[in-house]
Amino acid sequence: MTSQSAKAAQFSALHIKGDPVVLFNIWDVGSAGAVIAAGAKALATGSAPVALANGFADGEQMPFEMALGNIARIVKATALPVSMDLEGGYGAAPDTIAANVARALGTGVVGFNFEDQIVGGKGLYPLDQQVARLKAVVNACKIAGVAAFVNARTDIFLKAAPDTHCEDMLSEAIARAAAFAKAGASGFFAPGLRDAEMIGRLCAQVELPVNIIALPGTPDSKTLAGLGVARISYGPVPYKHMVSWLENAAREALQ
């Protein structure tokens, strides 16, 4: 059986600027099996589909114990590397985050998404506070002896309508990416950014591998690769498509 450390190295190596790894986000063992059968090289959960599939709203509303149980079952069911959407770490304080990361690593995961929005509040954590929180994630991985891929996420673009994305936002994102890289992050995640020119500039000016979500209106995978993106994920899109299909099929059967 492949060790957790070997899987972590395998997962990290998939992140290549211009040749992005595609992560078609899953939410349980069943969805993982379908994505594996389609030829996935790695798996990643999305917090929204995991929560929604279990009857909760997104935003750390699903109890952490349940989230751990869910990811543990997924890891056990596959030999592929698995990354967990940790949201904001299920806590504000670095010590709380570090303890939660240690528990998550105990399930066998080899990567995390870690966001800078204030879950349950407004806006983003000030940069110095988010750096301290991010360092807690990175240090917890070092203590566990697992070089997990820490995908540091900023919600600058996700919290604003696409037609309001501007130079100031891009500059702030680049500054955060630089600070996150210095803190030990493995990648930089900018969900919600859809403008090709801005994506290209972000990739050119950020040293970390850049992750973009393929939301409606986002350039296609070939274009994103040409812009220098290293990771393409799908967030809640697969789950929403599945639920829409299920509802339509059920309506046709029931009527």
The answer to whether 75 and 27 have CB atoms below 8 angstroms apart is no
- pLDDT at residue 1 in the model: 56
3-state DSSP helix/strand/coil % of the chain, to nearest 5: 50, 15, 40
What is the pTM (predicted TM-score) of this model? 0.96
For residue 157, report the phi and psi dihedrals to the nearest 5 degrees: -80, -35
Q: From residue 120, give the alpha-carbon distance in Å to each of 42, 59, 64, 117, 123.
A: 30, 7, 15, 9, 10
Ranges of residues in the chain with a pLDDT under 50 are none
Tokens of 1: 């059986």
Q: Burial level of 152, CB count in 10 A (0-12/13-18/19+)? A: buried
Q: From residue 43, give the alpha-carbon distance in Å to each of 5, 14, 156, 165.
A: 16, 12, 25, 30
The string of pLDDT tens digits covering residues 89-111 is 999 999 999 999 999 999 999 99
In sequence order, what are the beta bridge partners of 84? 112
- pLDDT at residue 35 in the model: 98
β pairing state of 82-85 and 149-153: unpaired
- pLDDT at residue 2 in the model: 79
The string of pLDDT tens digits covering residues 202-243 is 999 999 999 999 999 999 999 999 999 999 999 999 999 999
Give the ranges where the chain is alpha helix by DSSP (H).
Answer: 4-13, 29-37, 47-53, 64-76, 94-105, 127-144, 167-182, 196-205, 221-227, 237-254
Structural domains of the chain ordered from first start: 4-254 (3.20.20.60)
